[in-house]
Amino acid sequence: QVQLQESGPGLVKPSETLSLTCTVSGYSISSGYYWGWIRQPPGKGLEWIGSIYHSGSTYYNPSLKSRVTISVDTSKNQFSLKLSSVTAADTAVYYCARDLGAAAGGNWFDPWGQGTLVTVSS
Amino acid sequence: DIQMTQSPSSLSASVGDRVTITCRASQSISSYLNWYQQKPGKAPKLLIYAASSLQSGVPSRFSGSGSGTDFTLTISSLQPEDFATYYCQQSYSTLITFGPGTKVDIK
């Protein structure tokens, strides 16, 4: 059974860099699939941030691209998110998920991690 | 960007009701449309992918249809555990976008 778990600081100061890690169990990232990050501001909808392949190939939401870096560490079976120059608007629950559909030409996410709330505040 | 809209934004229904949620794309997305269910405090759960394919383990009372710009998610007989918010998501574009959600609550 594939499981994903987000980890990282729950509080980040404005202008600093948000860093999160997603640890995957039950499946080797090296075996394939894209892996993604999605966020959800409190009480609002879902926003895709970006995705990465085990080879390191990435694609990002253009609205965040200048501030986002997603990387993968296959030796630890983890992938990570860095979002720079954060503001209060980046306060959200951040989810990691496996992109099951990329190999079929679409993108659908399953499973998801439980999510982690990151608050941007001084 | 491909904009996704959903209607209604919320609905009240009773156990046993047939429920239909509509998702519309701002341009044709072929069948690149997925549906998720989210309960309060929980991560979204994939229900339907590629417009009409039922994800493994999802009850058969859930079904999806449509292509192009108009899509529907149908729950044939609403169960107590189905009260949740439902999101559509398009992947036709490399910019993946979600609809605003439809909240289904108890009448």
* Integer angstrom CA distances of residue B33 from A53, A54, B68, B71: 21, 24, 9, 8
Determine the 3-state secondary structure of A29 from DSSP. Answer: helix
**What's the pLDDT band for B81 if we cut at 50, 70, 90?**
very high
Backbone angles phi, psi at A90, to 5 degrees: -90, 0
CA gap B96, B28 in Å, rounded: 14
pLDDT of residue A106: 84
pLDDT digits (tens, 9 = 90+) for B13-22: 999 999 999 9
Would you state the pLDDT for residue A21?
98
Decide the pairing of beta strands B97-98 and B85-90. Answer: antiparallel
The answer to whether residues A70 and A62 touch, using CB atoms and an 8 Å cutoff, is no
A21–B contact, CB cutoff 8 A: no
CA angle A3, A25, A36 (to 5 degrees): 60
> What pLDDT was estimated at residue B106?
87
* Residue whose C-alpha is closest to residue A114's, from A3, A2, A29: A3
Per-residue pLDDT reduced to its tens digit, A63-97: 999 999 999 999 999 999 999 999 999 999 999 99
Separation between Cα atoms, residue A6 and residue A22, nearest integer Å: 4
Identify residues of B whose CB sits under 8 angstroms from chain A CBs: 32, 34, 36, 42-46, 49-50, 55, 87, 89, 91-92, 94-101
When pLDDT is averaged across residues B85-107 and rounded to a whole number, the result is: 96
- Residue B7: how many other CB atoms lie within 10 Å: 13
- CB contacts < 8 Å between A and B, how many? 62
Query: Up-side HSE of residue B10: CA atoms within 13 Å toward CB?
Result: 5
Q: Check CB contact under 8 Å for B46 and A61.
A: no
In this complex, which of B43, B95, B98 lies closest to A45 when CB atoms are compared? B98
pLDDT in tens, A3-48: 999 999 999 999 999 999 999 999 999 998 999 999 999 999 999 9
Neighbours of A118 (CB within 10 A): 23
- The percent of residues above 90 in pLDDT, for chain B, comes to 97
Sign of CA pseudo-dihedral B70, A61, A89, A121 = positive
B1 min Cα distance to partner chain A (Å): 10
Q: Which of A39, A59, A108 to mutate to test the interface with B (most CBs of B within 10 A)?
A: A108
CA B101, CA A46: separation in Å to the nearest integer? 9
Q: Look at residues A31, A2, A17, A25 and name the one whose alpha carbon lies nearest to residue A83.
A: A17
